[in-house]
Amino acid sequence: MPELRRDPIIGRWVIIATERAKRPDQFSVKNEEEALREGEKCPFCEGNEALTPPEIFAFRKPGSKPNGPGWDVRVIPSNNPLFIVEGDLDRRGKGMYDLMNARGAHEVVIDTPRHFNEKGIPEEQITKAIQAMIGRLQDLERDHRIRYVLAFKNHGKAAGGGRLVHSHSQLMGTPVTPKRVKEELAGTKKYFNYKERCIFCDIIKQECDEGRRVIAQSGNFVAIAPFASRFPFETWILPIRHNCDCYRTRREDVPDLARILYQVFNRLSATLGDFPYNMIVHTAPFRNYRKKGYWETIEEDYHWHMEIMPMLTRVAGFEWGSGFYINPVPPEDACAFLKEVVKGS
Amino acid sequence: MPELRRDPIIGRWVIIATERAKRPDQFSVKNEEEALREGEKCPFCEGNEALTPPEIFAFRKPGSKPNGPGWDVRVIPSNNPLFIVEGDLDRRGKGMYDLMNARGAHEVVIDTPRHFNEKGIPEEQITKAIQAMIGRLQDLERDHRIRYVLAFKNHGKAAGGGRLVHSHSQLMGTPVTPKRVKEELAGTKKYFNYKERCIFCDIIKQECDEGRRVIAQSGNFVAIAPFASRFPFETWILPIRHNCDCYRTRREDVPDLARILYQVFNRLSATLGDFPYNMIVHTAPFRNYRKKGYWETIEEDYHWHMEIMPMLTRVAGFEWGSGFYINPVPPEDACAFLKEVVKGS
């Protein structure tokens, strides 16, 4: 089982994924595996269900059978999981160090049965993929040993996208709240204590008033180029109506979320081509497992959102060593490019 | 002037480097500039001094003149600085956002006059490069507007190494203490408050007792594969004798530091070939500019060190979104590989 080790100085967790261990000569960045070998079948395509572990969930056409064709969205366990459903957490010490087993969940959401969508995945298909994801989060919330589920998508080599290009997202259920989320929780709480308002609601207000960094709007959702964008063309999507849990999005709002995602990716692709990116969802941690206290105001002070991070520049030593980021494209310029490209087309 | 913008939620600073701004079509990761174009001269080679800005400092042979040949180590201002020496910081608000000018310093230390060193840079040359760097830090400390100097080195494309392969390091003098360093300071202080000991001293003690993650030792310095290594073959170099400021290293200890660096890179290259890496120095912030208080125990609780991060795997959405890292090589295995490779040669 993969092992979670805690950096004793700053409390950062590292997954030592021994099952993926490689010998040093396998590490050449140049020799990365190509997408699919010739003649190799894509395990995420409709008809190739036998190439994946049995499905956890699927939206299926009437009459179709599990693990066969006839689905719209399919959720499967990861073939190479970093977090394992079975076993104990076994949080323990080793001298001054802390470690535990990587007890949790690692699932793959196959967004579409089609290997390639020339004009991007259609809105109705995105709606179904989001609904499947929401369903999985609601289910995973019942496992009290899971504290957080991180939903993310890696696309393209430069973004660690792996060899399978068929559109898919991942859900990582972790036994601790991730450090980055904890930092956001601490920041939003501090602001709430001071202002008695949600910081994200205030950001949305200022951005909508100012307009220079608003990329798109759709019903209850807005897409902005954040003021302190770390990456060129970084884009955040936020619900305008305050909500801390992404999986409590109202059913009638899901098509609006799908529409803004479609629009944003449409604009990004028109500007940047087939660009590598990471997309992540930041939502509040599950709160089933603990008593009130620290979490008392979380429903008022936290606000779920998505972050799309195009990987066009490389992160180097200065960023690693400092936590500073260097961004050569001001978000106002990025936003202007993204608006222009669709106006012109 | 580049602008520093603060993320309002978690307080992360981003440098919006408008001088480096590019149009979207210049961003294709594939079209990165190749090292040197044919016939192009390397500005860091001896004899090409006219291709760089005038030097700030150099170790020179007797009789040689500034900005001409005859040097061992040469320090110049960056051609494309992210932090600028002139001007005001002008810390200000913009609605709910915070920003300031990137007032600071950005220097380049050319480690060697030779473009290529087949067997790595010799120990005596590394000694001189370290001494030059120490001298620069001592000088920059006198500028009370600089709170921190981050020394780092990027090598290879995958590590953001840029187009100049001639060995060089960078010094970035920043007007705020970087977030990553602040996190370490907070962690070490917490440990010190609890144990009344330096956490790094305790780590060194446990590692030397256990031995499984000790890669090399030289005089007052030890190289270890950290227990919670984020990256395969991550290596930290620490002074065994407690010291919070890298630039207060005793003159007689510098050759030992050069030796362990030489040994570590020798082993890493023998194992990984010409591998991309980032190397950073974490040292205590300058303390001239503030009163006691928070900094009172820093000389006891903080411990300077170097982190070498080979960039063999790609950091993807999960890492960005969570602050978790995935490492497929347990540090114990990495350490064994590194020890074996030299035994066998």
The sign of the CA dihedral B147, A323, A298, B187 is: negative
Instruction: Provide the shortest C-alpha distance from residue A70 to chain B (in Å).
Output: 30
Q: pLDDT averaged over chain B?
A: 90
CB contact under 8 A, B316 and A97: no
Q: What's the mean pLDDT in B131-137?
A: 98
pLDDT of residue B30: 44
| pLDDT tens-place string over residues A139-163 | 999 998 899 999 999 998 888 888 8
Choose between A33 and B345: higher pLDDT. A33
State the catalytic residue, choosing from A106, A155, A168, A305: A168
- Min distance B63 CA to chain A CA atoms (Å): 36
Q: Which of A180-184, B29-33, B197-201 has maximum average pLDDT? A: B197-201
Number of Cβ pairs < 8 A linking chain A and chain B: 294
**pLDDT of amino acid B40:** 87
**In chain A, which residues have their Cβ closer than 8 Å to the Cβ of B203?**
8, 96
State how far the Cα of B302 lies from the Cα of A32, in Å rounded to an integer.
Answer: 40
pLDDT in tens, A119-140: 889 999 999 999 999 999 999 9
CA B287 to each of CA B238, B242, B294: distance values in angstroms, whole numbers, following the listed order = 21, 18, 10
Over residues A248-277, the mean pLDDT reads 95
CATH code: domain A37-79+104-344 is: 3.30.428.10
- Band of the pLDDT at B343, cuts 50, 70, 90? low
Domain boundary assignment for chain B: 3-22+35-344
Mean pLDDT score, B239-268 = 97
| Token code pair at residue A44 | 């995420």
Q: At what angle do helices B123-140 and B254-272 cross, to 10 degrees?
A: 120
Q: CA nearest B270: which of B214, B216, B344?
A: B344
**Tell me, what's the ipTM?**
0.90
**Sign of torsion over alpha carbons A324, B176, B304, B162:** positive
Least confident of A152-161, B65-74, B76-85, B220-229: A152-161
At residue B288 the predicted structure's pLDDT band, cuts being 50, 70 and 90, is: confident
Phi-psi region of B290 (alpha: psi -120 to 50; beta: other; left: phi over 0): beta
Hey, are the CB atoms on A160 and B317 less than 8 Å from each other? yes
Q: Cα(B326)–Cα(B318) distance, rounded to whole angstroms?
A: 9
Confidence of residue B163 (pLDDT cuts 50, 70, 90): confident
A318:B152 CB<8 A? yes
B323 pLDDT more than 90: no
Buried residues in A55-66 as b, exposed as e (16+ CB within 10 A):
bbbbebeeeeee
Q: What are phi and psi of A158, to 5 degrees?
A: -65, -15
Minimal Cα distance from B195: which residue of A? A96
The encoded tokens of residue B123 equal 């120990």
pLDDT reported for residue B28 = 52
What pTM, to 2 d.p., does this model score? 0.92
Put residue A63 in one of left, alpha, beta given phi > 0 → left and psi -120 to 50 → alpha.
left
Mean model confidence pLDDT for chain A: 90
Judging by DSSP bridges, how do beta strands B305-310 and B235-239 pair with one another? Answer: antiparallel
Q: Describe the crossing of helices A179-195 and A199-210 by its angle, rounded to 10 degrees.
A: 80
Q: Is A168 a catalytic residue?
A: yes
pLDDT at B26 over 80: no
Tokens of A306: 């998505």
Task: Inform me whether the pLDDT recorded for A29 exceeds 60.
Answer: no
The per-residue pLDDT for B31 is: 43
> Which CATH code is given to the segment(s) B3-22+35-344?
3.30.428.10
pLDDT band at A345 (very low <50, low <70, confident <90, very high): very low
Pick from B190, B324, B325, B338 the residue to mutate for testing the A interface (most A CBs within 10 Å): B324
Q: How far is CA A48 from CA A36, A162, B206, in A?
A: 14, 19, 51
- Percent of chain A exceeding pLDDT 70 equals 91
Query: Which carries the bigger pLDDT value, residue A342 or residue A177?
Result: A177
pLDDT at A30: 44
Cβ neighbours around B210 below 10 Å, total? 14
